[in-house]
Structure 1
Amino acid sequence: MMDDNPIADEDAPVLLIVEDDPSFGRALKRSFERRGYHVLSCDRAEAVPDLLTKEAPDFAVVDLKLAGASGLECVKMLHAHDPEMKIVVLTGFASIATAVEAIKLGACHYLAKPSNTDDIEAAFGRTEGDSGVGLTTRATSIKTLEWERIHETLADTGFNVSEAARRLGMHRRTLARKLAKQRVS
């Protein structure tokens, strides 16, 4: 578990960061502290319930792919704890399926990495959808369709890689290799 900010203004908004990349987590923490937030941070979903007994976050930033767990489970837990909490999901593995599930589970926004503090703060402030978002004219690639199908199946199986591989009709190691690769557009 990462450190919590021991000294904080009692009127400062409380932010929880759940991120398993130590350097990215530290950078986010420092950036939000400079903006006046009281920041709590941890690197795994299992540490969240303990933090919630000590603090009541107003905001949360959750990495989608945590070591040993899904960030979606964390979103579900945080939303159940406080439905008013503004939760933003960050991911380097964006897909339509996981974006839809994150919003259904209580996230207010879903951002692809790299995202910075400005992007995240803007996402906290967005409470309504934007019907003016432009539609893309670019056709979806086979790689993107495959990626989305894999993530949809992963979400359906509770992020059980073995079961997802079985449902997709591929070897577990093949699926693990595909998940380890960075997405190519």
Structure 2
Amino acid sequence: MSELTTPLLMVDDDPTFLRILQQAFKHHQIATVTAHSPQEALPLLQSHTFQYAILDLNLDGESGLNLMKELLSKHPQCKVLILTGYASVATAVEAMRLGAIDYLCKPASIGDILKALDLNPETNSNNEAAVLEEESDEFQPMSVKRLEWEHIQKTLIEHEGNISATAQALNMHRRTLQRKLQKRPVEK
């Protein structure tokens, strides 16, 4: 296993998921620092030096990619993994373009996460206690609402999080866009 001289940063707006992931890393003797929002994470970027970070793509309606840009501007050596329950090719490409080392869909096992971060490639990802959620091998096409959510996220990224510019590009009223962003996207 690679030696960590600094804690690993984890930012996710789901407290249960964050706690489970933190316990899994503790089991692997990896110290973590957690935040539930970009606002909680920003002060941590000033007080810590991070070699590794795991960021949720959707942080309560805000893009984790914006936080990743801030993180990499302060700690360019940091290896960032994006985790998301709302994966799309567009967001994966954008995350990699902006500097993420990998992009994993939730559910992801601790073994997959360690392997993506290159912390312990020999980890047995078949360990059922480490699996965060059960994976499904069946292909399911995205619903229209889900496709709309992905398109909104892509357009929001293209306009660097600017709600007004995104609404204009989508030919949508700004309040309508804000309501859509406040809702959790539907599953596939």
TM-score, normalization by structure 2: 0.72
Given candidates 52, 59, 79, the residue that maps to 2:45 is 52
Alignment partner of 1:99 is 2:101: no
**Residue 75 of structure 1 is aligned with which of 68, 81, 84?**
68
Deviates more, 1:68-77 or 1:33-42: 68-77
Q: 1:152–1:23: structure 2 CA closer, same or farther, 3 Å change rule?
A: same
Instruction: Between 79-88 and 161-170, report the one with greater CA deviation.
Output: 161-170
Deviation sequence 1:91-139 (CA, Å, 0-9, x none): 122222222221122110111222232221121129xxxxxxxxxxx99
Separation of aligned partners in 1, 2:43 and 2:24: 24
Contact 1:18–1:62 under 8 Å retained in 2: yes
Count of paired positions:
166
Distance 1:107 1:28, change over 3 A: same
Look up the match of 1:168.
170
Shift of 1:176: 5.1
Q: Tell me whether 1:42 sits opposite 2:35 in the alignment.
A: yes
- State the distance in 1 between where 2:61 and 2:186 align: 20
Please tell me the root mean square deviation across aligned C-alpha atoms, in Å: 3.0
CA contact (8 A) 1:86 1:124 kept: yes
User: Which secondary structure does the structure 1 equivalent of 2:9 belong to?
Assistant: strand
Write the deviation string for residues 127-154 of structure 1: whole angstroms up to 9, x where unpaired: xxxxxxxxxxx99886665444322211
Residues 97, 151 of structure 1: 8 Å contact kept = no
Instruction: Tell whether 2:82 aligns with 1:89.
Output: yes
* Percent of residue pairs identical: 41
List alignment gaps of at least 5 residues for structure 2. 120-139
2-side partners of 1:171 and 1:53: how far apart?
Answer: 37
Equivalent pair of 1:21/1:43 in contact (CA under 8 Å): yes
TM-score (norm 1): 0.73
Deviates more, 1:155-164 or 1:41-50: 155-164
Distance in 2 of aligned mates of 1:53 and 1:98: 27
Pairing of 1:141-180 with structure 2 (within 5 A): 146-172=148-174, 175=177, 179=181, 180=183
- Does 67-76 or 140-149 show the bigger shift? 140-149
Q: Is the 8 A contact 2:80 2:100 kept in 1?
A: yes
SS of alignment partner, residue 66 of structure 2: helix
In the other structure, the counterpart of 1:63 is: 56
Preserved contact between residue 14 and residue 40 of structure 1 (Cα < 8 Å): yes
**Which of the numbers 14, 17, 32 marks the counterpart of 2:7?**
14
SS of 2:117's partner is: helix
Instruction: Mark the runs of 5 or more structure 1 residues left unpaired by the alignment.
Output: 1-9, 127-137
Aligned residue in 1 for 2:136:
none
SS of the aligned residue for 1:57 comes to coil
* 1:11 positional shift: 5.6
